[in-house]
Amino acid sequence: MDVANAKLILEDQEIDLPIVIGSEGEKAVDISKLRAQTGHITLDSGYGNTGSCSSGITFIDGEKGILRYRGYPIEELAESCKFLDVAHLLIYGQLPKGAEKDAWVDGITRRTLIHEEMKKFFEGYPPHAHPMAILASMFTSLSTFYPDGDDTDLDIVRLIAKAPTIAAFSYKKSVGQPFVYPRNDLGYAANFLNMTFRKPTEDYVVPESVRSALNLLLILHADHEQNCSTSTVRMVGSSQANLFASMAAGVSALWGPLHGGANQKVIEMLQRIEADGGDYKKYTEMAKDRNSDFRLMGFGHRVYKNFDPRARILKKAADHVLRDLGVDDPLLDIAKNLEEIALADEYFVERKLYPNVDFYSGILYRAMGIPTEMFTVMFALGRLPGWIAQWKEMRDDPKGRIYRPRQVYVGATERHIG
Ligand code: ACO
């Protein structure tokens, strides 16, 4: 919806800039013609105040702590949905029902096997290869098996179906155990858990509390509008790179400790505090000290300046799942104490630093038996439908064009050799 224009006075020119208002009242000044009109660009390093697209997928109000997928509050989806339903909602705009739902779930269930040739790739990696590196390579490798790219919906189904198999195989590789093949009689989360935890020597039945915790975690991670990895996916996809290559780029962007890699870093931080005698106050002081580069991992968010609603849900779930599984994890107590102290501390209050989704997800994954190095892979499995939805929205946009930001050059002016 376009309404009245903004006026910009620049040097001796007065320029009208269109105002765009989103469906939740978010306002933007459209500067897309500014350079053509005035020779100026806008500068916003880190894109903190830049809208890179219009999107109908996910709404966040960071001030109020609101997160909705396609209009549905995250709390409702987390309470009553299966991950594959939420994936369909994100990608196609509605929760699937009846025959549509059957076709969606069945299509994914029947495509979980990876090509036997692809299995050989795993042999080439060193035993302790990080599973995120394997995941990114394997996503790209899928495009060698499905190179045509002429049936996007089928490629989407393939990718969602095969991602847990690849993730579980990368775990099995890291512990030197034989791969466990997918099973069509299990649901999405249970199938992943079975491929991950079953050993040839023992019986394994997926515990219901672990299955439902995984379903919840995947839903909470499923989309988060234009974050670092999603913007990367859109950026790469904007060149018309194929779906698999674009998703591999998302995996790489997610890996970093300031993004999805934070869940691994949270556990490492809590372990460090525990090994150091559990003195969490010392670590909040360190996080505040400008001379130290230590940060409270799992705290702070570019968008949320209030409690991350996902962290709220996960804190409750962590209590419940740990009790159910009979796990007594001292790291949970340290995490709660850290949170309590930080929420009352002026430094964190002033900067609006609250726990983010990664603060409690690591504790849950630990209780479920997922090794620390796999945490970010779990995040990637959850985020996959969001990446796909955003990629598809961009590709389906008739006005879409290649992403190409500008810069302000501050290097040497022209000079010559000799
Ligand atoms: N611990 C201590 N201080 C912090 C923290 C933290 N975790 N996060 C931000 N601050 C401080 C900064 O030092 C800065 O202080 P200053 O104004 O005195 O210089 C202020 O708060 C603002 O921080 P920025 O880094 O400018 O905020 P930005 O929006 O760029 O960064 C980020 C957001 C990367 C999430 C940051 O808060 C952080 O590093 N958190 C820890 C890592 C983390 O948990 N990442 C996961 C994010 S959620 C996700 O990706 C799924």
Over residues 297-349, the pLDDT tens digits come to 999 998 888 888 999 999 889 888 888 988 888 998 898 899 899 889 999 99
CA 260 to centroid of ligand 1, rounded, Å: 14
Active site residues: 301, 358
Q: Is residue 24 scored above 80 in pLDDT?
A: yes
At 329 the pLDDT is 86
CA 32 to centroid of ligand 1, rounded, Å: 30
At 3 the pLDDT is 63
Spell out the SS3 assignment of the chain: CEEEEEEEEECCEEEEEEEEECCCCCEEECCCCHHHHHCCCCCCHHHCCCCCCCCCCEEEECCCCEEEECCEEHHHHHHHCCHHHHHHHHHHCCCCCHHHHHHHHHHHHCCCCCCHHHHHHHHHCCCCCCHHHHHHHHHHHHHHHCCCCCCHHHHHHHHHHHHHHHHHHHHHHHHCCCCCCCCCCCCHHHHHHHHHHCCCCCCCCCCHHHHHHHHHHHHHHCCCCCCHHHHHHHHHHCCCCCHHHHHHHHHHHHHCCCCCCHHHHHHHHHHHHHHCCCCHHHHHHHHHCCCCCCCCCCECCCCCCCCCHHHHHHHHHHHHHHHHHCCCCHHHHHHHHHHHHHHHCHHHHHCCCCECHHHHHHHHHHHCCCCHHHHHHHHHHHHHHHHHHHHHHHHHCCCCCCCCCCCCCCCCCCCCCC
At 307 the pLDDT is 82
Q: Is residue 1 scored above 60 in pLDDT?
A: no
> What is the percent of the chain where pLDDT is above 70?
99
Which range scores top for mean pLDDT: 337-341, 370-374, 403-407? 403-407
Best of 295, 305, 308, 376 for a ligand 1 pocket test (most atoms within 8 Å of beta carbon): 295
- For the segment 200-214, the average pLDDT, to the nearest whole number, is 93
Any ligand 1 atom below 6 A from CB of 221: no
At 322 the pLDDT is 87
Please tell me which residue, 286 or 307, carries the higher pLDDT value: 286
Best of 356, 365, 375, 383 for a ligand 1 pocket test (most atoms within 8 Å of beta carbon): 356
Q: Is residue 363 scored above 90 in pLDDT?
A: no
CA 299 to centroid of ligand 1, rounded, Å: 7
Atom number in ligand 1 closest to CA 359 = 44
Confidence band, pLDDT 50/70/90 cuts, at residue 184: very high
User: Which domains, from first to last, does the chain contain?
Assistant: 2-66 (2.20.28), 71-219+227-251 (1.10.580.10)
At 320 the pLDDT is 87
CA 204 to centroid of ligand 1, rounded, Å: 41
Q: Is residue 2 scored above 80 in pLDDT?
A: no
